[in-house]
Amino acid sequence: ALVVDVTFASDYPGTDPESTGEIKLGAGPVLCNSSIVNNKINSLLKETASGLNMSLQFEAAPGRTGTDADRIHFVNEGIPLALVSIPLRYMHSPNEMVDLKDIEQIIELLAHFMLSIHEDTSYSPFDM
């Protein structure tokens, strides 16, 4: 599964990138590293982005991600997934702000990624 959500940007006054990580508007899609994220899918997304000369940003979620990925991961015996996020400033306020370039890049990344997978593509972390 490919889960798309937003994540907190840290490139405005009053934020502390030391504690939240450094996520910037206009700097590309954000891939999440977490215990629920499938490393093989993340690696394939990184390869796809590299082939497109696209910059990626990374965030860590040591526990829950606070997204639908948390629930999707536990469906049946577990669904391999990746979490791709749009950097967002001022989340949960009337002034939320994104960079349209980030949204366009996520669309391009996911479209190329989906075209690159095949029926025999393995998502097992042991097939790296």
Give pLDDT tens digits for 46-94.
999 999 999 999 998 887 888 878 788 878 878 889 999 999 999 899 9
Q: Contact at 8 Å (CB) between 86 and 99? A: no
Task: State the Rg of the chain over Cα.
Answer: 15
C-alpha span between 40 and 89 (Å, rounded): 29
Tell me the average pLDDT across 26-32.
97
Question: Is domain 2-117 annotated with CATH 3.40.630.10?
Answer: yes
Give the 3-state secondary structure of residue 30.
strand
Report how far Cα 101 is from the mean position of its chain's Cα atoms. 15
Give me the mean pLDDT over the 101-128 stretch.
89
Q: Return the SS3 of 68.
A: coil
pTM: 0.89
What 3-state DSSP class applies to 20? helix
